[in-house]
Amino acid sequence: MPRPPRLHWPSIVHHVIGHGNAKEHIFLDSRDRVEFLEAVREARLRMRCEVFAYCLMSNHFHILVRSDAASISRVMHYALTRYVRYFNRRNDRKGHLFQSRFKALACDNDVYLLELLRYIHLNPVRAGLVQTPELWPWSGHSEMLRPAVDSIIDSGFPLSLFGPDLAQARAAYRDFLGDPRALDAPDPFDAQVSCDPIARASDPTAREQRDLSEIAREVQEESGIPTETLTGMARTSPISSARHAFIRRAVRRGFRPSDVARFLSCSPAAVSKVLRTS
């Protein structure tokens, strides 16, 4: 397979995972899953994001979404708020349905994106619920192969990574999921957690500062601009270029624009502006 092009800004792909509170089921029947997908569909249209993969299990979900780096929270907040209101109303309940905040883990590599695509759509097979992904109706796998008018999946970009011819790309995607080694592949979620600001444990602020400092040192080695200058008030062209490189690299590795803005002592709007114009 030829090497695919890399993802470009200002959009970024996130692997979003949400679990039921105290491991409770968040979907009780088919109607619940239909309502959840309708909430995602509406969020996708309102926020102009793209969905590359999804899978709904009983007590958790996976969605692979490409959106502006600053808007993933708004996308998921809209979809999940709408669904929780429906679920609580239908079941005459109150309170939290999901376990704390959803996780939104950044992906900045096309090869890694393909592994996530496969992992998400093979989730019910890994769980022993079905023998093949085609038999699970609550994932985007079938939409990748046979898109419908009301499809949630935006299959164009992920299929393009398998080749320019659509029919051949779909066949290659099917073979990619059908590879017997796929079920033994390591969980890509484990690799993502280390760079996810939402999933950081113990002292998140301290770890966040340390990890951002490491990125700043990388930029210093490449540009010659030291960290204290990068986070200062100077605005010469070389310093601005280094600062922009730092912003793009930090967000690619999973940091929210607000995290980056705090480190640079600037506004989140300034960070988002860099992402939009990159």
Residue 204 pLDDT > 80:
no
Q: Strand (E) positions, the chain? A: 11-19, 50-56, 60-68, 103-107
Looking at the structure of the chain, the number of domains it has is 2
- Looking up residue 148, the CATH number of its domain turns out to be 3.30.70.1290
In a shared domain, residues 85 and 144: yes
Dihedral of the alpha carbons of 269, 270, 273, 277, in degrees to the nearest 10? -170
Mean pLDDT of the chain, nearest integer: 81
Pick the last residue of a domain from 193, 216, 239.
193
In a shared domain, residues 214 and 169: no
Cβ neighbors of 18 (< 8 A, separation 6 or more) are 26, 60, 61, 76, 80, 98, 99, 102, 103
Range of 224's domain?
Answer: 204-277
Helix (DSSP H) and strand (DSSP E) numbers for the chain: 13, 4
**pLDDT > 70 fraction of the chain, expressed in percent and rounded:** 83
pLDDT digits (tens, 9 = 90+) for 60-83: 999 999 987 557 888 998 999 999
pLDDT digits (tens, 9 = 90+) for 89-108: 999 988 889 987 788 888 87
Helical pair 30-47 and 72-90, crossing angle rounded to 10 deg: 150
pLDDT class of 195 with cuts at 50, 70, 90:
very low
pLDDT digits (tens, 9 = 90+) for 136-152: 999 999 999 987 778 89
**Do the Cβ atoms of 276 and 68 come closer than 8 Å?**
yes
In a shared domain, residues 37 and 145: yes
In a shared domain, residues 179 and 214: no
With respect to residue 1, please indicate whether it lies within any of the assigned structural domains.
Answer: no
pLDDT class of 26 with cuts at 50, 70, 90:
very high
With respect to residue 248, please indicate whether it lies within any of the assigned structural domains.
Answer: yes
Cβ neighbors of 252 (< 8 A, separation 6 or more) are 12, 106, 108
Phi-psi region of 271 (alpha: psi -120 to 50; beta: other; left: phi over 0): alpha
pLDDT digits (tens, 9 = 90+) for 168-194: 999 999 988 887 666 666 566 554 443
